[in-house]
């Protein structure tokens, strides 16, 4: 029984040491160390069809909102439009872009959506309308 208790105590001490090491680490340090660095970079990566801007798409539209003319477009992952979509709004001068990345997990009904480029409420409305127009509920 004493051997068992020693192993339990040793395990608890080891767990406490491991917890202490993690508690003293900071996120910026972990993002530069293996294995965390690779996982962190994978978390930030977007699918290739998004990063290179190549997908199945219809022609872009010019949309006027609050007296400004925006360029609005939508594309999706080739051969998987039902689950992978990107809506984009370009500023009137074309120097800014905002997006709405919509990804649906296998067998899920709802999309997981992420705004890109920190859009304000006006741009969010344009992005959501573009998404809704390309995903009718009927």
Instruction: Tell me the average confidence (pLDDT) per consecutive run of 10 residues in the chain, 138 residues long.
Output: 50 47 80 92 91 94 96 96 97 98 94 97 97 87
What is the token pair recorded at 37?
């660095």
Yes or no: say if 82 and 104 are a contact pair by the CB < 8 Å rule.
yes
pTM (two decimals): 0.76
**Fold of the 51-133 domain:** Inhibitor of vertebrate lysozyme, Ivy (3.40.1420)
Q: Where are the domains of the chain?
A: 2-44, 51-133
Q: How far apart are CA 136 and CA 128, in angstroms?
A: 12
User: In terms of Cα–Cα distance, which of 52, 120, 118, 126 is closest to 88?
Assistant: 126
pLDDT of residue 21: 44
Q: How far apart are CA 49 and CA 86, in angstroms?
A: 10
Cα four-point dihedral sign 94, 113, 28, 31:
negative
Cα four-point dihedral sign 103, 56, 97, 133:
negative
pLDDT of residue 11: 56
């Amino acid at each position: 029984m004493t051997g068992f208790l020693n192993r339990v105590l040793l395990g608890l001490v080891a767990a406490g040491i491991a917890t202490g090491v993690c508690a003293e680490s900071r996120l910026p340090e972990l993002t530069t160390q293996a294995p965390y660095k690779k996982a962190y970079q994978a978390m930030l990566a977007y699918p290739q069809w998004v990063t290179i801007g190549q997908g199945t798409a219809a022609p872009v539209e010019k949309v006027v909102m609050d007296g400004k003319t925006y360029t609005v477009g939508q594309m999706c992952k080739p051969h998987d439009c039902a689950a992978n979509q990107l809506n984009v709004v370009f500023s009137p001068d074309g120097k800014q872009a905002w997006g709405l990345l919509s990804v649906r997990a296998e067998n899920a009904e709802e999309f997981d959506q992420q705004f890109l480029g920190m859009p304000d409420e006006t741009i969010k409305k344009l992005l959501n309308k573009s998404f809704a127009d390309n995903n009718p509920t009927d």
